[in-house]
Structure 1
Amino acid sequence: MKKMKLSRVMFLAILGAWAIVLRTFDFPILPAAPFLKIDFSDLMVLIGLLTSGPIGAVIVAGTRDLLNYIMSGGQMGLPIGVIMSFIASMAMFLPTHFILSKLKKASINVKYALMSATLVMFLVGAMSLFNYYIALPWYVAVLNFPIPDLFGYLITIIVPFNLIKGIILAVGQIIVIKTLVPMMKKRNMLYEAYSFEKKSINSPDVRLSQSHG
């Protein structure tokens, strides 16, 4: 049992290392702010979630962001960027955990819709709050960023960027789940609290609904 646990932790650490590799392939998505870039390292965090639940997501995101901080040193030596990265990952995928573990009777399409909507909403909300109250004031005070209107910058730059990023990663989330979950089931790697079962026409719930139709 201990060996299995150790192998799972090693697997999650490897996912974190792969996330660092994916982070190098970043690209801008907002012409008004080419310095804000998106990458697909968060999909490794999603895989960690699917195999090991919330702790898996935390380990993968934490490994990625710790390695990133060690290699880059952060801004002025402070880990503002990596903290923001970790919060963004948790904001996107902890709602996914709740949906997959608590809404087991919902159809797979309903789950996809809820996971996509909550990913976008929580990402935009969390990043808006963190930027407005912590990151942007710090950038202005310490790095002398020319941002005279924090709220205007938030509405015109931060919110649109995270909205687009959220939509892209929501699509990526569905692709990853559709592609990898069947394989995870066969290899008994899917986190035990999650359900992706589709209701068949012969299931008790479907027969009951048909009898009342």
Structure 2
Amino acid sequence: MVNQTTQNTSETGKGNKTGKGFKTTTIAKISILASAAAVLMLFEIPLFFAPGFYKLDFSEVAVLLGAFSMGPAAGIVIEAVKILVNFVIDGSVTAGVGELANFLIGCSFVVPATVIYKRNKTRKNAILGLAAGTAVMVVFSAFMNLYVLLPVYAKAFNMPIDAIVEMGTKVNSAITDIHAFILFATVPFNVVKGAASSLITVLIYKKLSPLLHR
């Protein structure tokens, strides 16, 4: 009886350690991936068809890796921490409005992709989820840029919306007004961003999966 009680107590202790260890491990992985995403945000690539303030980075890859391995909630946390760290490093010219919009746009990409992938964890479903996430992000970012981001940037830099449109016109003559700006700059930018992030994620996720699931 004593031995059995001792054994049960020992097993319970192990269970508590496992539970605590899992939680600690998850927090550690979220922290590492969020830090990696914040660093990746610092390396930006300009695109020839968009004005200079539209620059491509691959920070969403780190967010997707975390979301695919730990779930959409973890992806949202990584996205939030990434934005906060970048805010601390670079500051904000939009009083946080731009950062909030970028957080929501990132979530509009990561969450649908992860929800679809989690239903059936296959390569095909990952590609399907990433394609769906890209589509949602493209539509959502178009509305966010039209009604939130571009007006806020214009106000922050004390310039009319037409001045932003002119920046687009310089690189693409088809951009003649704000709606054309969204169609020929914002939309293709986010298509490229989603496609590039998706491709890299598909190529490296399985290779990193054993490490991500420790």
Alignment TM-score, normalising by the size of structure 2: 0.76
Classify 1:107/1:179 alpha carbon distance in 2 versus 1 (closer, same or farther; 3 Å): closer
Structure 2 distance, partners of 1:136, 1:10, is 36
Structure 1 partner of 2:152: 138
Match of 1:74 among 72, 85, 92: 92
Q: CA RMSD in A?
A: 2.1
Partner of 1:125: 139
Is the CA contact 1:16–1:61 (under 8 Å) kept in the aligned structure 2?
yes
Taking the aligned partners of 2:122 and 2:33, their CA distance within structure 1 comes to 29
Asked if structure 2 preserves the Cα contact closer than 8 Å seen for 1:115 and 1:170, the reply is no
Quote how far apart the aligned CAs of 1:178 are: 3.3
Counterpart for residue 89 of structure 1: 106
1:172–1:146 distance in 2 versus 1, CA, 3 Å: farther
Distance 2:122 2:36 in 1: 32
Which residue is 1:41 aligned to? 59
Q: 8 Å contact 1:147–1:153 — kept in the other structure?
A: no
The number of equivalent residue pairs is 182
Higher deviation after alignment, 79-88 or 116-125: 79-88
- Cα deviation, residue 112, structure 1: 3.8
2:116 counterpart of 1:99: yes
SS of equivalent to 2:92: coil
Q: In structure 2, what is the equivalent of residue 2 of structure 1?
A: 20
1:169 corresponding residue in structure 2: 197
Structure 2 residue ranges without an equivalent (≥5): 1-18, 163-176
Q: Is structure 2 residue 35 aligned with structure 1 residue 17? A: yes
Q: Deviations over 1:39-70 (max 9, x none)?
A: 11111111211232112112211111111112
Q: Encode CA deviations 1:156-192: one digit per residue, 9 max, x unaligned.
A: 21112111111111212211323223x25xx744xxx
**Paired amino acid for 2:179:** F
1:108 paired to 2:126: no
Q: TM-score, normalised by structure 1?
A: 0.76
Separation of aligned partners in 2, 1:32 and 1:146: 18
